[in-house]
Amino acid sequence: MNVDIRDVSWLHVLHDVNLTVGSGEVTGLIGPNGSGKSSLLRCVYRRIRPDGGRVLIGGADVWRTPAREVARQIAVVTQDTPSDLDDSVEQVVALGRIPHLGTLGRLSAAERTLIAETMELCDITALARRPFATLSGGERQRVQLARALVQQPRLLILDEPTNHLDLRHQVDLLRLIRTLAVTVLVTLHDLQLAAAACDRLVVLDGGRIVADGPVAEVVTEDLLRAVYRVEAEVDRGHDGLPRVFLPLGRLTGPVSPG
Ligand SMILES: Nc1ncnc2c1ncn2[C@@H]1O[C@H](COP(=O)(O)OP(=O)(O)OP(=O)(O)O)[C@@H](O)[C@H]1O
């Protein structure tokens, strides 16, 4: 499913953002804190209504599409998941099927199999009976991913999906999303992970897109200096992907002014 963001503006946060994402593309949104990444994603998944411009998914304006229909097509993993849920992990994952359930609201045998297989894929089978509220941050993140996957969306939106994950689970998650036949919009702070996981990177700064292209063209020392205001070194690995190296030393230099 393609995504077409046209001249989107919202409050003082987003300014005339234009972005077209092709079906099946994995697109990474990167940029400093407060640059508008989450806000732009919220406009796409119909959480906030832009003051100007439109968002089309599969050619249809999201605000002219019924919420249930949007829920069938877009799955979202964000940071704002409630932590007081009494539900078990398995029940939280099953919530992903809600937009697809018929009037009886019962899961079919095929749906139960899908849930079990997806939990295995996300390495949470052993947690199935645990109350969601008792999980660690990384375990919750994997449960939320499983919930999103059982939704079988055509567009998967992930807002910093790796921030609580250990190294192995970071790599597993990004490897997994690359195998999915869905369009993915993902925000990531780790540029190396973003470069490995995404076909394309879009850089936001001050609510505007300041760079957009293949990862090797976007992640450069000049961009890191201009947008993130850090002196980093970027070289290429044997796979041609950019590798970012921050010469931190003993961190004795001055704190950069805001
Ligand atoms: N509801 C709101 N009303 C007013 N300002 C908002 C609102 N939501 C977010 N903002 C502001 O918009 C700016 C962009 O926020 P956003 O969360 O989109 O940034 P981000 O790029 O995702 O940042 P981070 O990397 O820190 O997660 C921030 O300055 C934030 O304070």
For a substitution probing ligand 1, which of 5, 10, 39, 79 has the most ligand atoms within 8 Å of its CB?
39
Characterise 245 by phi-psi region: left (phi > 0), alpha (psi -120 to 50), beta (else).
beta
Pairwise CA distance, residues 171 & 216, whole Å: 19
Q: How big, in percent rounded to 5, are the helix, strand and coil portions of the chain?
A: 35, 25, 40
Pocket of ligand 1, beta carbon within 6 A? 11, 13, 31, 33-39
Would you state the pLDDT for residue 102?
79
Pairwise CA distance, residues 115 & 128, whole Å: 11
- Please, are residues 220 and 232 in contact by the beta-carbon 8 Å criterion? no
pLDDT(22) > 90 = yes
pTM of structure: 0.94
Residue 80: which pLDDT band, with cuts at 50, 70 and 90?
Answer: confident
Percentage of the chain with pLDDT > 90?
A: 83
Pairwise CA distance, residues 152 & 114, whole Å: 10
Residue 237: which pLDDT band, with cuts at 50, 70 and 90?
Answer: confident
Mean pLDDT along residues 33-46: 97
pLDDT(79) > 90 = no
> Phi and psi of 241, rounded to 5°?
-85, 145
Q: Note the helical H segments in 46-108.
A: 67-73, 89-94
Tell which residue, 196, 153, 213, has the closest CA to residue 23: 153
Would you state the pLDDT for residue 250?
63
For a substitution probing ligand 1, which of 14, 37, 190 has the most ligand atoms within 8 Å of its CB?
37
Would you state the pLDDT for residue 103?
74
**In one letter, which amino acid is 190?**
D
Which residue's alpha carbon is at the smallest distance from atom 4 of ligand 1? 11
Ligand 1: centre distance to CA 36 (Å): 6
Residue 84: which pLDDT band, with cuts at 50, 70 and 90?
Answer: low
Pairwise CA distance, residues 155 & 134, whole Å: 29
